[in-house]
Structure 1
Amino acid sequence: MDLESYYEIDRTAEFILSRNFARVALQFPDDLLKDSTKVVRALYTKLASLKASSDEEIRGDGDVGLFVMADTTFGSCCVDEVGASHINADCVIHYGHTCLTPTSTLPAFFVFGKAPINVSNCVNNLLHTADTAGKPVMVLFGLEYAYAMLDLKKAVLEALVSYESQAELEIQFSDVVCSVLEPSGKSSDFGGIMELVGVSHANDAAGVQSGTRHSTGGLVWNVPQGRKVEEYSMFWIGSENAAFANLVLTFNGCEIVRYDATEDRLVTDLSQQRRIIKRRYFLVEKAKDANIVGILVGTLGVAGYLHMIHQMKELVTGAGKKAYTLAMGRPNPAKLANFPECDVFIYVSCAQTALLDSKEFLAPVITPFEAMIAFKRLFHLIF
């Protein structure tokens, strides 16, 4: 692995200097911590090189402090603004898988990584899926494959030119929302992350741009006017992770297939994900009988989390139930067992970490969306 390419050392150093940041927090997930010292050394070397060759004035004496966050307060996919505040960081550089949930106080720069993928094999499976689906295909992917999307799109266009059934195929690609998040919630595209491109046999991007906007797991795409998202077949490139589970739950009305880039094969059996949907529905039904509801604070940095907590309190009390608000970091069975009076817990977190498998918990853990389904009807009945 080329460390400088994988961790985008050049791009990261340019971002830090362009914003005149003096204290920078580097957030690594557990599986990438082993590379943290190498990344720090590479960044310091690159920063020194850029400052030596730059004529622009740097704030203060030009020194930049890099601080590695070896653990996260909550889920590693979210920007840990609490940990970064301990060293008064000006920004956070986030490495690895992310949900791209907006931040509250600090700007964040994302390095998604570069997982290997066989572009040719992926294209063949994509064309086969589009040919047999009999409907438009939407391509979605894990963010670790974002770097390969331009090559994949180019290969698809080249293949469609000579494809026998090209007149019947329509393939559209989702795109990454951003690579930089501002605390105001505004996104910025530093370094040229690809624009949203609709790819079909006619490559009619203009028609794709007008329509309904959808997003999930840091990806965004448009459905043209006159169409519904259920009319699409979803083609996911990546592993069977939290982002994929969230996709299946959110767009359960769509046909979904998964291309496993690690094993170079197409996976059409989604029975495990379908069982998750049934499980979540069961939890919603069980939550309706709860008398005391615990609201778990699963983040202190995601923009809007306080508003969501207040909204959940109003929802629960409006349904005639008692609500407790609990802040405990990452929930586990042992922690929640200290609150046996709670019949159900609502986990206020990002869309991906909120999907907890609570089979080992004494009480079910549901998402705010599921809470709205469970308690909204009761709220209307009471009032």
Structure 2
Amino acid sequence: MEADIAFRYEIPRTAQFLRDGAYTRVALQFPDEMLKDAAAVARALRRELASGGADSGVRVFVMADTAYNSCCVDEVGASHIDAQCVVHYGHACMSPTSNLPAFFVFGKAPLDVHACAGTLLECSRKSNKRILVLYGLEYAYALDDLRQTFMESCKSNSGNHEVQYAEVLCSVMSPSSSTTEENKIPQSSGPSCNGDISRNSESATFLNNRNGMECSSSTQKYSLAGMTWNISVEEKMEDYFIFWIGQDSSAFANIVLTFNKCEIVRYDAIENQLTADVSHLMKILRRRYYLVEKAKDANIIGILVGTLGVAGYLHIIEQMKDLIKAAGKKSYTLVMGRPNSAKLANFPECEVFIYVSCAQTALLDSKDFLAPVITPFEAVLAFGRGREWTGEYLLDFKDLITSEKQEAASTTGEARFSFIKGVYVEDNCPQGTSYAVGSIHLSLSEQVLSSNSAMKMRNNRKRRSLWLR
């Protein structure tokens, strides 16, 4: 049991990280499904630290029931115990931290390497594209064995064997900004490179670092879902066949929606089956477009803060406020952990909500909500003048951050057609209101009718009073 805990939770490597940093107050963050092993992991970690001659004053705290999402580093919970670092267990979105260093232990989900390599070989035979292998981070430990097994299988088989494997982004993360600078824009480690999203002069600052992509003279570097990979500058992601290893998770949804023009298959490591049907995720993309159109007609917008730890969250909130104000609308900012329909029902005046969170929890199924919930990317499409959706999709709000102020749209702009109301709508009206063309005349006639009705009722009461006298 102890050996299994040490292997699955990487106790020696974790202890070495704590020794190197001389940390004395350590927060261990577990998701719900791993919480049953928390006490055993804490005991094993203390024993390992003691055997290495570490200071016996190291205190270990277990965190559960995180304030926001378990995939994010819970810096708020860690601050309650004055932790110097966080050891994060389980699935992680790898969003940059703001204040505390973090060490990631992804776990080791079982994977039949030979069966997976055989399925990968079959895909390489059928596809004439280069294959890019992406995976859930819980399978990262088996990547070297998979690569070796696949290479051995290729020796006795012909076909397209051009396979590229993504690498884990990192296992140790340092804060990207201090507490006094957490509202600064997080800078990329290389020059930014904008993609081929169509835009006009009004939307020149649409994207800053699309999909975590960086460009050099010969390669493009992508960073998504905790992984990183390079492709040639002459190539596009559409030229690759994506082979995903893992479950139908939020990380997989992130990949499918972001690279929705690519051919993608999923290898289920539990069932050892290959699935090529991702139509359910494409339906989500169509629904998101509907929510964008619905958000355009909203006048009062609520900004839901779903994280207090992801670097840059304060800046994107301010950017959303500026965007909403420039569109002639009103906004309210609400800090809320794990939004649900009951919580949002307390704010009936908000016609749409913008959810600021990490990329892997950004998509909320708001079918049961009174008002739709959209992402910052969708808000840019809905409230920004001149924005057009080409089908390209972004979930990480860091890709939207810009240092330039949002410019107010002209109040004399032409009316736009609302696909939701079926009429032409004028935006940027006085007091931030928008109305359908012709609705003023209708409302005035209704007021006249109600006024006449009220006068008739008063006259009838007077006649009855005189008759009784």
**TM-score between both structures, scaled by the size of structure 1:** 0.89
Equivalent of 1:148 in 142, 151, 168: 142
1:75-86 map, 5 Å: 75-86=69-80
1:11-30 matched pairs, under 5 angstroms: 11-30=13-32
CA contact 2:326–2:408 (8 Å) conserved in 1: no
Match of 1:332 among 340, 353, 357: 340
Residue of structure 2 aligned with 1:176, choices 153, 168, 179: 168
| CA–CA distance in structure 1, aligned partners of residues 35 and 79 of structure 2 | 20
Amino acid at match of 1:180: V
Q: What is the 5 A alignment of 1:240-319?
A: 240-319=248-327
| Deviation sequence 1:47-82 (CA, Å, 0-9, x none) | 11111xxxxxx6xx5410000012101000000000
Q: In structure 2, what is the Cα distance between the partners aligned to 1:255 and 1:377? A: 32
Residue of structure 1 in register with 2:87 after alignment = 93
CA distance in 2, matches of 1:254, 1:366: 24
Matched residue, 1:49:
51
User: 2:325–2:408: 8 Å Cα contact kept in structure 1?
Assistant: no
Residue of 354, 358, 365 corresponding to 2:362: 354
Query: How far, CA to CA, are the matches of 1:230 and 1:110 in structure 2?
Result: 31
Which AA in structure 2 matches 1:35? D
Q: Please, which runs of 5 or more residues in structure 2 have no aligned partner?
A: 178-185, 187-215, 387-405, 411-469
Please identify the structure whose Cα radius of gyration is greater: 2
* Counterpart-to-counterpart distance in 1, 2:65 and 2:142: 29
Give the aligned CA root-mean-square deviation in angstroms. 1.7
Match for residue 400 of structure 2?
none
Q: Which residue of 2 aligns with 1:157?
A: 151
In structure 2, how many angstroms separate the alpha carbons of the residues matched to 1:179 and 1:210? Answer: 27
Letter in 2 for 1:344: V
Map Cα deviations across residues 163-182 of structure 1 (whole Å, 9 max, x no partner).
212xx331111111000000
* Whole-angstrom distance in 2 between the partners of 1:97 and 1:372: 29
User: Matched residues in 2 for 1:99 and 1:209: separation?
Assistant: 29
Contact 1:210 1:222 in 2 (8 A): no
Give the Cα separation in 2 of the matches to 1:357 and 1:131.
38
Aligned counterparts of 1:288 and 1:130: Cα–Cα separation in 2: 44
SS in 2 for 1:377: coil
Q: 1:46 to 1:134 in 2, by over 3 A?
A: same
SS of 1:282's equivalent in the other structure is: helix
Q: Contact (CA 8 Å) 1:209, 1:224: kept in 2 or not? A: no
2:409: which partner in 1?
382
Distance 1:253 1:223 in 2: 16
Q: CA deviation at 1:162?
A: 2.4
Question: Could you say which residue in structure 1 is the equivalent of 2:462?
Answer: none
- Are 1:4 and 2:6 matched, yes or no? yes
Give, in whole Å, the separation in 2 of the partners of 1:73 and 1:218: 22
TM-superposed deviation, 1:300? 0.5
User: Which secondary structure state, in structure 2, belongs to the residue aligned with residue 24 of structure 1?
Assistant: strand
Range with bigger deviation, 251-260 or 150-159: 150-159
2:437 alignment counterpart: none
The one-letter code of the counterpart of 2:165 is F
Runs of 4+ residues over 3 Å off in structure 1? 378-381
Structure 2: how far apart are the matches of 1:39 and 1:9? Answer: 8
CA distance in 2, matches of 1:348, 1:264: 36
Give the structure 1 partner of residue 213 of structure 2. none
